Amino acid sequence: MDWVNAVVQGVLVGGLYALFAAGLSLIFGVMRLVNIAHGDLIVLAAFVSLVMVEATGLHPLASLLLVVPLMALAGYALQRGILNHTLGKDILPPLLVTFGLSVILQNGLLEIFTADSRKLNAGALETASLSAGAGIDIGVLPLLMFATAVGVIAGLQFIFYRTAWGRAFRATSDDKEVAQLMGLNIGHVYGLAMALCLAVVGIAGVFLAIRSNFDPSLGPGRLIFGFEAVIIGGLGNLWGTLAGGVILGVAQGLGAQINPGWQVLAGHLAFLLVLAIRPKGLFPRIEG
Amino acid sequence: MSDLLLEVTALEAFYGDFQALHGVSFSLRKGEMLSLIGANGAGKSTLLKALCGLVKAAPASIRWMGRNIGGLPPHDIVRLGIGLVPEGRRLFPSLSVEENLVLGGAVNRLGPWGLKSIYDLFPILAEKRHAPSTSLSGGQQQMVAIGRTLMSNPDLILLDELSLGLAPIVIRDIYETLPRITGNGMSAILVEQDVTRALSVARQFICLQEGRVSLAGEPHGFSRDQITAAYFGT
Amino acid sequence: MSEFSISRATTISRAASLLALLLIVGLAAAPWWATRADLHLIGEFATYVALASLWNLLAGYTGLVSVGQQAYVGLGGYVLFTTALFLHINPLLAIPLAGVVAAIVALPMAKLVFRLQGAYFAIGTWVVAEVFRLIFAQVTALGGGSGSSLPVEAVRSIAASRDMREWLIYWTALVLGVGSVALVYGLLRSRIGLALTAIRDSEIASASLGVRIGQVKFAVYVLVAAVTAMVGSLIFLQKLRISPDAAFSVNDWTAFVIFIVVIGGIGTIEGPIVGTIVYFLLREFLADLGSIYLMILGGVAIVIMLVAPQGIWGFVARRFGISLFPTGYHVTWK
């Protein structure tokens, strides 16, 4: 029974990992950029939520109303202010600049908030659970996280394939030069993409803050989980990323069942296994 | 004020250290069609790219409707009314035929061209409107590329190597639609490898040779030999 | 017909070679004129020059941007501690052994991470390092998560006297530092270096000329892993203590190294040396600021990447046209 429970919990936490990963996938799809500071931005969002909750006393989920637009704005500014100037044929500049950003974010948060572990209290939501029969309990919060992940991915798919915004993203990703000939300001399009990415990061950050203890050093770990979900699922496929997150979550859950110290390692090993036998991921759509 | 739509004066263009255009000058009136001929590497595509902003140019070297536009970014130049149909079509593979066309119209310029009129011009595209754009035949893709640029209702349309990679009968069909495209006062600059076709379609022509204008004027004013000499630079 | 000669060396590079030789001799003699603290500092300087030169070879010349080299630094450290705790041989011998072990481990790791490209490759190397860290944290024989200290007998077996031990460790650090730079220089002057430059300029063109890109990259990755591990075992010999977090620290073995190479000048041989000097200077004056110091480092790296991506040495070399370690040929007309 413990094993079944572990799988169920793994599936649900996979939703959170998919939330971590969705932004990464989106940005890579649109501008072939991998933001090393992605995980740290998730942690930043968690802290913004913390500040908001402590200031207003509102429920953590309500902080989404402020965190998401704030992060979106920050994303637009970050892209147009710094990241747009790194994009080009060389992979080094964006990688090294986002690496520097990661260091700055981590240490900045450390300075402001210290290394103390924090957590947001979602009240009754945290302990509420539904019974799925046969002794399996599904927490309402994990279920909500998973449902949010599905909703976010569905939303992103909708934006990408059914709106003018998404058309601009796809065209720019296909052919930057010709996209400009169609009147698209590439710098602005990229800014919008990053704004969208960080909006999702904002959602992920709030859920991270509610779900578990967090501190400034958590960034790289979240980046790696997101990255693993993307690679396992296959590049260029958001639903694949959800599947990747689920597989990662289940692998971690099973690993933890064997030995609690093996949780994260089991996830890494699952990732390496997929890399070894299916390098393009399980449901790939574009070339890396 | 003359009815000179476009005035290019001593245009220079560089790719890094390599100079592709040396002091090219010409002008275009409203409603006029100009053919641009020259050997491979003569600078024809570079000239078109400079006009639409993909290649940097000195501000005063390109005057459009009386204002300096050299060096402006492409997304601004499209808004001013210059549209390029790129060499090799370059449709967006992730977009359907209709999405390619709609994107072309995103600049929202007023004019006779819209989805309906494009589908009237190229009925086959209406049938395939939801197909992935790159699943179409070469000739059909060329139609989409032309339609996509028309959607921005340009005052000047730049056509770069329409016939590239297409069968002769397809080329003929496309050229037969040209008068309907430029009929209502749209100016055009046409780059074409096939010299005979290029010279038969336009009233004015320029021949480029190694980045310089080697010959210019009306096609019937020159002999075959003169044009060949200008083309190859003997 | 005018006369001409073709050569690699220039007046400046010859002068630099002479100076370098004098410097190395001087540093080798340091045990006789420097204090113990000085030796430690110079030794540390040498290890960072080594790590930076190696990372530069990987990222700046071969295009393999790894943020996971700490995997091999830590691996080298643990090879040292394993031999010290269980094999009872002179720890200095563990250094070349670490190189061999790392080379063997790097083979399958390379096969895995080479399936990824660009920035995804980078994160992949990070995952590998994390896997190493988590695995070693589970090995109780080596101290598990809290690590272990180097046994006194192992330390004593290096040499009879404490002075001699310090000197031997110091000279080893010097050898690794100078040796890494020499290795990179020698490699780049060889046919492999030519292949790397060709690959850097154009992968497609060089592939069509028969340059076996995949094999070259693979070989360089394994070589760098081996030498990095050797440096790693020396580092932990000096520290006398190891733990998974310290051995596989991203900050110490990757972030600082990247900072050094970027600021010094990526893709140049002199860059890592210049960068290490700058890093040690900054550390001297700013390290008290703690996290703010790290933020400054990060900020400087970002600014350099945006404003002067060729780094300090890259700027100087281009501006004045000098190269202390020439790899290309030039023609002199007579």
pLDDT of amino acid C101: 96
pTM of the model: 0.90
Half-sphere exposure of B102 (CA within 13 A, CB side): 17
Q: C118-138 and C91-113 helices cross at what angle (nearest 10)?
A: 130
Shortest CA gap B174–chain A (Å): 21
**What is the percent of chain A with per-residue pLDDT over 70, rounded to a whole number?**
98
Shortest CA gap A100–chain C (Å): 4
Q: Which helix (H) or strand (E) holds C241?
A: strand C241-242
pLDDT of amino acid A139: 86
**A178·B103 Cβ contact <8 A:** no
Highest mean pLDDT among B105-119, B173-187, C25-39, C156-170: B105-119
Q: Which residues of B touch A164 (CB under 8 A)?
A: 102, 106
- In this structure, chain A runs to a length of 288
Q: What angle do CA A128, A129, A135 make, to 5 degrees?
A: 145
Average pLDDT over residues C125-148: 92
Q: Is the pLDDT of residue C76 over 90?
A: yes
Shortest CA gap A275–chain C (Å): 7
Could you tell me which of A191, A31, A195, A38 has the C-alpha nearest to residue C118?
A31
**A269·C262 Cβ contact <8 A:** no
Contact B70, B58 (CB under 8 A): yes
Shortest CA gap C115–chain A (Å): 6
Average pLDDT over residues C52-75: 94
Question: Please, which residues have CB within 8 angstroms of residue B149's CB and are 6 or more apart in sequence?
Answer: A181, B83, B84, B85, B104, B157
d(CA B115, CA B139): 19
Of B78, B94, B102, the CB nearest to A181: B78
Task: Tell me which of A128-137, B158-167, C43-52, C63-72 is least confident.
Answer: A128-137
Residue type, A109: L
Task: Tell me which of B206-210, C28-32, C99-103 is least confident.
Answer: C28-32
**A167·B53 Cβ contact <8 A:** no
Of C137, C299, C309, the CB nearest to A104: C299
d(CA C98, CA C221): 16
Q: Which residues of A touch C63 (CB under 8 A)?
A: 91
Q: How confident is the model at residue C334 (pLDDT cuts 50, 70, 90)?
A: low
Contact A37, A105 (CB under 8 A): yes
Size of interface A-B (CB pairs under 8 A): 63
Question: Please, which residues have CB within 8 angstroms of residue B66's CB and are 6 or more apart in sequence?
Answer: B1
Using CA atoms of A226, A230, A232, A233 in order, give the dihedral in degrees to the nearest 10: 130
3-state secondary structure of C214: helix
pLDDT of amino acid B231: 85
**B90·A164 Cβ contact <8 A:** no
Q: Is the pLDDT of residue A185 over 50?
A: yes
d(CA A281, CA A233): 5
**C255·A97 Cβ contact <8 A:** no
Q: What is the pLDDT of residues A214-236, one digit of tens each?
A: 999 999 999 999 999 999 998 88
**A91·C255 Cβ contact <8 A:** no
Interface of A with C (CB under 8 A): 32-34, 36, 82, 85-86, 91-97, 99-104, 107-108, 110-111, 220, 223-224, 227-228, 231, 261-262, 264-265, 268-269, 271-272, 275-276, 279, 288
Residue of B nearest to A165 (CA): B103
d(CA A216, CA A167): 37
Burial status of residue A173 (CB atoms within 10 A of its CB: 0-12, 13-18, 19 or more): buried
Shortest CA gap B231–chain A (Å): 29
Shortest CA gap A143–chain B (Å): 34
Question: What would you report as the CA-atom Rg of chain A, rounded to the nearest whole angstrom?
Answer: 19
Give me the residue label for tokens 């979106």.
Answer: A72
| Whole-number Cα distances in Å, B190 to A165, B40, B84, B177, C67 | 32, 15, 10, 14, 51
Residue of B nearest to A161 (CA): B95
Which residue in C123, C201, C257 has the most chain A C-beta atoms within 10 A of its own C-beta, making it the best mutation to test that interface?
C123
Contact B96, B129 (CB under 8 A): yes
pLDDT of amino acid A241: 94
pLDDT of amino acid C326: 78
Average pLDDT over residues A177-191: 95
Of C67, C120, C299, the CB nearest to A100: C299
Contact C195, C220 (CB under 8 A): no
Could you tell me which of A129, A140, A114, A132 has the C-alpha nearest to residue A47?
A114
Q: What angle do CA C87, C93, C99 make, to 5 degrees?
A: 105
pLDDT of amino acid A125: 79
| Whole-number Cα distances in Å, C132 to A250, B107, B115, C214 | 21, 54, 59, 25
Give me the residue label for tokens 């730049």.
Answer: B158
Question: What would you report as the CA-atom Rg of chain C, rounded to the nearest whole angstrom?
Answer: 20
Residue of B nearest to A186 (CA): B75
Residue of B nearest to A171 (CA): B92
Shortest CA gap B224–chain A (Å): 36
Q: Which residues of A touch B86 (CB under 8 A)?
A: 177-178, 181
Strands B4-15 and B62-64, by their bridges, are antiparallel
d(CA A248, CA A229): 6
Distance of CA C40 to the CA centre of its chain: 18
Q: Is the pLDDT of residue C1 over 70?
A: no
Q: Which residues of A touch B149 (CB under 8 A)?
A: 181
Q: How confident is the model at residue B234 (pLDDT cuts 50, 70, 90)?
A: low
pLDDT of amino acid B97: 95
Q: What is the mean pLDDT of chain B?
A: 90
Of A164, A174, A177, the CB nearest to B106: A164
pLDDT of amino acid A1: 64
Average pLDDT over residues A44-71: 93
Burial status of residue A15 (CB atoms within 10 A of its CB: 0-12, 13-18, 19 or more): buried
Residue C164 CB neighbour total at 10 angstroms:
12
**C122·A227 Cβ contact <8 A:** no
**A265·C122 Cβ contact <8 A:** no
**A272·C112 Cβ contact <8 A:** yes
Shortest CA gap C10–chain A (Å): 31
Q: How confident is the model at residue C4 (pLDDT cuts 50, 70, 90)?
A: confident
Q: What is the pLDDT of residues B16-59, one digit of tens each?
A: 889 999 999 999 998 899 999 998 888 899 999 999 999 999 99
pLDDT of amino acid C126: 95
Residue B216 tokens, joined:
């210019």
Q: What angle do CA C198, C202, C203 make, to 5 degrees?
A: 90
- In this structure, chain B runs to a length of 234
pLDDT of amino acid A288: 40
Q: Which helix (H) or strand (E) holds A184?
A: none
Shortest CA gap B38–chain A (Å): 24
Which residue in A107, A215, A252 has the most chain C C-beta atoms within 10 A of its own C-beta, making it the best mutation to test that interface?
A107
Could you tell me which of C91, C46, C48, C45 has the C-alpha nearest to residue C73?
C48
DSSP B27: E
Q: Is the pLDDT of residue A3 over 90?
A: no
**A182·B152 Cβ contact <8 A:** yes
Q: Do chains B and C touch (3 or more CB pairs under 8 A)?
A: no
| Alpha-helical segments (H) within chain B | 44-52, 74-80, 97-104, 115-121, 123-127, 138-150, 168-182, 195-201, 224-232
Task: Tell me which of A34-43, A251-260, B171-180, C319-328 is least confident.
Answer: C319-328
pLDDT of amino acid C14: 83
**A181·B102 Cβ contact <8 A:** no
Question: For residues C242 and C197, which has the higher predicted lDDT (pLDDT)?
Answer: C242
**C302·A34 Cβ contact <8 A:** no
**B75·A164 Cβ contact <8 A:** no
Which residue in B78, B103, B141 has the most chain A C-beta atoms within 10 A of its own C-beta, making it the best mutation to test that interface?
B103
Contact A177, A21 (CB under 8 A): no
First vs last C-alpha separation in chain C: 11
Interface of B with A (CB under 8 A): 52-54, 73-75, 78-79, 83-84, 86, 90, 92-95, 99, 102-104, 106-107, 148-149, 152
Shortest CA gap A22–chain B (Å): 19
Q: Which residues of A touch B94 (CB under 8 A)?
A: 170-171, 173-174
**C301·A99 Cβ contact <8 A:** yes
Shortest CA gap A108–chain C (Å): 7
**What is the percent of chain C with per-residue pLDDT over 70, rounded to a whole number?**
98
Q: What is the mean pLDDT of chain A?
A: 92
Residue of A nearest to B158 (CA): A181
Q: What is the pLDDT of residues C14-62, one digit of tens each?
A: 888 888 888 888 888 888 888 888 899 999 999 999 999 999 999 988 8
ipTM of model: 0.90
**C258·A96 Cβ contact <8 A:** yes
pLDDT of amino acid A105: 96
Residue A107 tokens, joined:
């240490």
Give me the residue label for tokens 């709106």.
Answer: A163
Residue of C nearest to A107 (CA): C291
pLDDT of amino acid A184: 95
Sheet of B33-38, strand order? B82-85, B156-160, B187-191, B33-38, B204-209, B212-217
